[in-house]
Amino acid sequence: MRVIGVVSDGLEAVLKTEALEPDLILLDIRLPKLNGIEAARRIRNTAPESKILFLSQDSDLVVARAALSAGGHGYVVKSDAEDDLITAIEAVMKGKRYLSRKLAGHDFGNAGDLHAAGKLRRQELNAAPSLAGKIGHRHTVQFYDGDASFVDGFTLFINETLSTWNAVIVVATKPHRERLLQRLHAHGLDIPAAINQGRYIALDAAETLSTFMVNDLPHPLRFFKIIGDLIVTAYQAARGEHPRVASCGECAPLLWAEGRTEAAIQLEHLSGEIANTCDVDILCGYTMKSFQREPERHIYERICAEHTAVCSQWTGY
């Protein structure tokens, strides 16, 4: 083995990989300028023949799964490196996937198998009935003509999840959360019971953003840790015949409404990653009035590009 390059940040890793085309890259996750997960995603596009072995102090399953999903071929926890690193390098170079001994026993072959304590079995998520026929994708964006249709769309999504005894995570503004409760009660759902059972988790959009935003941008590791733990909790509460978790929210739309366009795009990208990693159906809701600023209408296309399906819902038609 011969070391042909050493870098000090994620962005430099991407640039030097493209220039040197190494056989193998040892990549940390906690890197300045560009974290390792995002660096791996870019390297996968610019140097697809280079293999990536993550070497990180993080032993959290959600972080490791996100790293492998981003393009990693192996993952070694630094505390295991003395015994595992050489073996991991040899395995990865032979085309095998290597997992550190701290992660042994967990199935990383399918993104649907997630549980930080190893208790949760793989569960298959299907889209909510009415959305499944029209969308059939995990990370969906729906555009609404106003607050009334927004609440209607989220009510349908939540109702179809709770009515099958599964769990839903709602991240919305206070006015929307209050209106959703009213509408869900009107649909005959026992929301207090669902809350007590842990099947209805409602969070404030602004407060949730504050837990993983750093320097006005979403921090990937914080996002995967916080949202991943939340999804695990919801999975444990799901009681359906085929337990699943759905999530609807407006964190990225809130960033967009505040003029933080790039932060919104990055958050949508991370949401897509966690939808695949944790096998969760995600519905993002935007009101079309947010896209009436002519100089920024092109952002609509970028928002759509981060989702697997796009649809709209209007009132009065």
**pLDDT tens for each residue of 205-255:** 999 999 999 989 999 888 988 898 898 889 889 987 778 899 999 999 999
Number of Cβ within 10 Å of residue 240's Cβ equals 16
Same domain as 171, residue 36: no
- CATH number for the domain spanning 63: value is 3.40.50.2300
Quick check: is 231 in a domain?
yes
The pLDDT assigned to 107 comes to 52
Confirm whether 266 is domain-assigned: yes
Instruction: Identify whether residues 146 and 272 lie together within a single domain.
Output: yes
Range of the domain at 28: 10-103
Residue 154 sits in a domain whose CATH number is: 3.40.50.300
Same domain as 171, residue 33: no
Is residue 90 included in any domain, yes or no?
yes
Boundary residue ending a domain (87, 103, 119): 103
Q: Which two tokens stand for residue 13?
A: 């890793």
**Do 157 and 305 belong together in one domain?**
yes
In this structure, the answer to whether residues 303 and 186 fall within a common structural domain is: yes
Whether 5 is in a domain gets the answer no
Range among 53-62, 96-105, 197-206, 211-220 rated most confident: 197-206
- Clarify whether residues 142 and 214 are in a common domain: yes
b/e sequence 220-238, b meaning 16+ C-beta within 10 Å: bbebbbebbebbbebbebb
**pLDDT(123) > 80:** no
The string of pLDDT tens digits covering residues 239-296 is: 877 788 999 999 999 998 898 988 999 999 999 888 877 778 999 999 876 555 555 5
156 and 83 in one domain? no
* pTM for the full predicted model: 0.61
Residue 96 shares a structural domain with residue 232: no
Q: Edge-to-edge, what's the strand order for the sheet holding 309-313?
A: 200-204, 167-172, 245-249, 281-287, 139-144, 309-313
> Considering its fold, how many domains does the chain have in total?
2
How do strand 74-77 and strand 217-218 relate by DSSP bridges? unpaired
Q: Are residues 174 and 305 in the same domain?
A: yes
Phi, psi for 113 (deg, rounded to 5): -90, 100
Q: Is residue 99 included in any domain, yes or no?
A: yes
Give the pLDDT score at 131.
34
User: Quick one: 78 and 137 in the same domain?
Assistant: no
Residue 118 has pLDDT above 90, yes or no: no
What is the pLDDT at residue 288? 72
Q: Which of 115-119, 138-142, 147-151, 222-226 has the lowest mean pLDDT?
A: 115-119
Residue 19 covered by a domain: yes
Q: Would you say residue 232 lies in a domain?
A: yes
Do 57 and 133 lie in a common domain? no
Residue 1 covered by a domain: no
- Name the nearest CA neighbour of 256 among 209, 299, 310: 299
What's the pLDDT score for residue 298?
Answer: 73
